[in-house]
Structure 1
Amino acid sequence: MSTQETVRRQAGSVEETALKLDSEKAEQIVDALNTDLAATYVLYHQVKKHHWNVEGAEFLGVHEYLGEITDDLEESADELAERAQAIGGVPLSGGSTYEEHAPIEPEGEDVYGVRTSIENDMEAFGVIIESLRDHIGLANELGDYATEELLRETLETAEEHAHHLEHYLEDDTLVLESATN
């Protein structure tokens, strides 16, 4: 625990910055960015768990791809947090804080089969995609075009990953279901 006696910036506060975004608008944008930041980190930890625990004939490909997803999620989280800070906000931090503010439920500690894991990841990506779309509209409506662009780029990456995960769940595979077929 910190021994610092004074708080420089209180969580949940928004201050004026050189970017000159109206404080009311900045508060709305910071709230949206923090929601997306929380969701991104909740999904990051879920996908990382799947990356560590994946097994089976397609292990290597799935393991590597889930690693790529976590790299992209970590980068997106960093960009969302930095944007929130740049417009005067305080980015959320901490596992329980993320879970409290995320629009997705964390999967839990148990290990599931690869298909169930990927289905859970796709479902979480779907929620994040919807949130990002709403927040793109909000940023546009409030005239924060830089945040709008950042969210569009984040959305594009999220949609790409959801689409690729969907392919893993298709029924066409090179792996034989049983040796007797």
Structure 2
Amino acid sequence: MSTQKTVRQEAGTVGENPVRLDEEKAEQIIEALNTDLADAYVLYHQLHKHHWNVEGAEHLDIHVFLQEAYEEIEAAADELAERAQALGGVPHASMSALTEAATVEPEDEDVYDIRTSLANDLEMYGDIIESYREHVELAEGLGDYTTAEMLREQLEDVEEHAHVIDHYLEGDTLVTESALN
């Protein structure tokens, strides 16, 4: 590793941006994007944990769904970070910065039954949905229609995942609790 350090832009600062968004407006939007980025990574890790640990008769379907979900969340996180950078900001990248900026609470390290795990995921998705809606309004109110549109598209995907999880949690299933014991 090189010992020479040249800082091009300090974390937490906002510089000029090529999309000509006022610096004060960009600062507010970048803060919102960094919150969404942090929340996305918390959700990503929790979904990945559940993907690794799912068991039972519906293992394969849920395993595949969770992989698709965490991969989409990771892609969304990349978009959020790139937009923050395009607006002249520095996207959070360290675990400590992401942890500090996150507004959602991750599950602990224990492994739970899949129903509990999915209920925890649905709760986190709900919190993220509410945050996205606020940030869409913020971006639109500040005249950043591109960020608002990106968040709207991501919100659609997040809502779809929440909808699927809600269906997994329905009581109507071919596999009964007594059949598993």
- 1: distance between equivalents of 2:170 and 2:96? 34
- 1:25 maps to a residue whose letter is K
Give the deviation of 1:105 after TM superposition: 1.0
Question: For residues 2-151 of structure 1, what are the structure 2 equivalents within 5 Å?
Answer: 3-151=3-151
1:67-98 alpha-carbon deviations (Å, 9 max, x no partner): 00011000100000000000100000122321
- 1: distance between equivalents of 2:104 and 2:30? 18
The answer to whether the 8 A contact 1:27-1:89 is kept is yes
- 1:91 maps to a residue whose letter is P
- 2:98 maps to a residue whose letter is Y
SS at match of 2:176: coil
- 1: distance between equivalents of 2:97 and 2:124? 18
SS at match of 1:178: helix
Aligned residues: 179
- 2: distance between equivalents of 1:62 and 1:83? 31
Give the deviation of 1:176 after TM superposition: 3.4
- 1:35 maps to a residue whose letter is T
Structure 1 segments (4+ residues) deviating >6 Å = none
- 1: distance between equivalents of 2:117 and 2:25? 38
- 1:176 maps to a residue whose letter is T
- 2: distance between equivalents of 1:22 and 1:97? 25
Give the deviation of 1:23 after TM superposition: 0.1
Does the C-alpha gap of structure 1 residues 21 and 2 become closer, same or farther in structure 2, counting only changes over 3 Å? Answer: farther
Bigger mean CA offset, 29-38 vs 103-112: 103-112
SS at match of 1:130: helix
TM-score by length of 2: 0.96
The answer to whether the 8 A contact 1:99-1:106 is kept is no
SS at match of 1:56: coil
Give the deviation of 1:2 after TM superposition: 6.2
